[in-house]
């Protein structure tokens, strides 16, 4: 899915954020109907009514703005937001998490702001005015700095913004080309389920439960669960695999979504009984692993289960190929990171999971030409207050 643009227009009160943003919105909307605009003053009443003007309140409000923008841009919606929200950590968060991000700083001298202020905002000293009563952190490296002091026309300002060449933030390469080619050579619905899926269904998964599979690939395990009465959501970044699954799947209790399971925020807003991850943790880096495990904990219902199977550092393929980071290599045309069982268990326990079972073996995933050494973990979300 192509991500939407985010134009983050920032500046002090009176800098012209809403004026510039509104004109930009109507220019963009003439070509791209999936465009939305938010003004900080309006958003404050929608997502920040419970917050005051202390620094921690303003920071929390800004994080909510950013999260909303990410949620929309992840779904292909272009967003323009006009807000002060002058915090370094907010802008850093935006750059790290939002793929197509453009930061526009409207830089206006205080004397000009004071002349523009109809309600003498900068002379009231009511403790609520950013840049006067409240300290701000001015943008250190915005994409565009616009001196909006009246010497440049509004149309010229908007045109300058539209002329800016957007450089997408570095997106995690999910080896989509490799996996699209891989699944193009496989029959989607004919493969037998994995031994891991069979074991988890027999021991833990109940009919009628809700399960999400992260990185469902050819869908064999998702379909297996669904055929046994489980409500399944399978997600994978391979368009080839998901398109085939969507065409061939006839089960009403199973849906397939094409998206990156790390950044698909809307996926994690739903509560599940089970989260199933087979051969997916070793397809992401360690930072993303931490994100996914925390998201899994948050989305699971009380006493819900997380199932993990992944290649171990004791696997024979460990060390093969080009080293790209600790325990991670590019081999056979794609990224593979090998898991240290004890480190994974410690991370899960720090998050709040209770480890139900864990093991490492070369008998978990016997492949035709590859005896894989894998780790298996079953973790349960339990009440932290009841944990020893």
pLDDT tens column, 239-297: 888 988 998 888 999 999 988 888 777 778 889 999 999 999 988 988 889 989 999 99
DSSP 8-class letter at 297:
H
pLDDT above 70: percentage of residues in the chain: 90
Q: Rounded distance, CA 262 to CA 214, Å?
A: 9
Q: Rounded distance, CA 38 to CA 18, Å?
A: 9
How high is the mean pLDDT of the chain? 86
Residue 146 shares a structural domain with residue 186: no
Query: pLDDT for 169-202, tens place per residue?
Result: 655 556 777 777 777 776 555 678 999 999 999 9
Q: Which domain CATH number covers 264?
A: 3.40.50.150
Q: Rounded distance, CA 60 to CA 85, Å?
A: 10
pLDDT tops 90 at residue 127 = no
More confident residue, 360 or 43: 360
3-state secondary structure of 39: strand
CA angle, residues 349, 352, 355, in degrees to nearest 5: 50
Q: Rounded distance, CA 25 to CA 81, Å?
A: 10
More confident residue, 114 or 127: 114
Closest CA to 85 of 121, 40, 116: 40
Residue 232 shares a structural domain with residue 135: no
Res. 131 pLDDT band, cuts 50 70 90: very low
pLDDT tops 70 at residue 126 = no
Domain boundary among 120, 142, 163: 163
Residue 151 shares a structural domain with residue 186: no
- How many helices (H) and strands (E) are present in the chain, helices listed first? 13, 15
Q: Which domain CATH number covers 41?
A: 3.40.50.300
Model pTM above 0.75: no
Res. 329 pLDDT band, cuts 50 70 90: very high
More confident residue, 365 or 380: 380
Res. 10 pLDDT band, cuts 50 70 90: very high
What pLDDT shows up at residue 47?
77
What pLDDT shows up at residue 190?
65
CA distances from 113 to 52, 110, 163 (A): 24, 5, 27
Domain boundary among 105, 130, 163: 163
The parent domain of residue 369 ranges over 176-386
Residue 138 shares a structural domain with residue 210: no
Residue 127 shares a structural domain with residue 210: no
Question: Helix 220-227 to helix 195-203 angle, to the nearest 10 degrees?
Answer: 30
Which residues touch 369 (CB under 8 Å, ≥6 apart)?
none
Burial class from Cβ neighbours inside 10 Å (0-12, 13-18, 19+) for residue 335 reads buried
What pLDDT shows up at residue 270?
87
């Amino acid at each position: 899915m192509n991500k939407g643009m985010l134009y983050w227009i920032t500046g002090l009160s009176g800098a012209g954020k809403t004026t510039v943003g509104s004109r930009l919105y109507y220019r963009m909307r003439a070509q791209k109907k999936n465009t939305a605009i938010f003004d900080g003053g309006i958003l404050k009443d929608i997502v920040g009514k419970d917050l005051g003007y202390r620094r921690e309140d303003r920071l929390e409000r800004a994080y909510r703005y950013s999260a909303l923008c990410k949620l929309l841009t992840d779904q292909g919606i272009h967003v323009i937001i006009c807000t002060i929200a002058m915090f370094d950590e907010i802008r850093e968060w935006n750059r790290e998490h939002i793929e197509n991000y453009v930061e526009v700083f409207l830089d206006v001298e205080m004397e000009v702001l004071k002349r523009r202020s109809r309600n003498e905002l900068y002379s009231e000293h009511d403790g609520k005015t950013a840049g006067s009563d409240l300290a701000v952190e001015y943008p250190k490296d915005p994409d565009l700095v616009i001196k909006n002091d009246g010497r440049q026309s509004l149309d010229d300002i908007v045109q300058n913004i539209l002329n800016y060449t957007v450089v997408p933030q570095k997106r995690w390469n999910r080896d989509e080309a490799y996996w699209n080619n891989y699944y193009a050579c496989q029959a989607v619905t004919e493969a037998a389920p994995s031994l891991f899926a069979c074991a988890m269904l027999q021991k833990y998964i109940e009919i009628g439960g809700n399960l999400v599979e992260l990185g469902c690939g050819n869908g064999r395990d998702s379909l297996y669960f669904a055929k046994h009465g489980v409500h399944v959501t399978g997600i994978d970044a391979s368009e080839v695999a998901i398109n085939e699954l969507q065409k061939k799947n006839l089960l009403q209790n199973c849906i397939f979504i094409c998206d990156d399971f790390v950044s698909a925020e809307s996926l994690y807003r739903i509560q599940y009984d089970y989260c199933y991850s087979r051969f997916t943790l070793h397809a992401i880096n360690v930072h993303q692993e931490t994100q996914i495990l925390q998201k899994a904990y948050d989305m699971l219902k009380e006493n819900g289960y997380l199932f993990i199977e992944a290649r171990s550092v004791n696997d024979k393929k460990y060390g093969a190929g080009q080293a790209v980071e600790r325990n991670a290599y590019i081999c056979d045309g794609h990224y593979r990171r090998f898991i240290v069982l004890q480190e994974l268990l410690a991370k899960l326990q720090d998050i709040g999971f209770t480890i139900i079972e864990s093991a490492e073996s070369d008998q978990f995933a016997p492949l035709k030409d590859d005896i894989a050494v894998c780790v298996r973990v079953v973790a349960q979300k339990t009440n932290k207050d009841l944990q020893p």
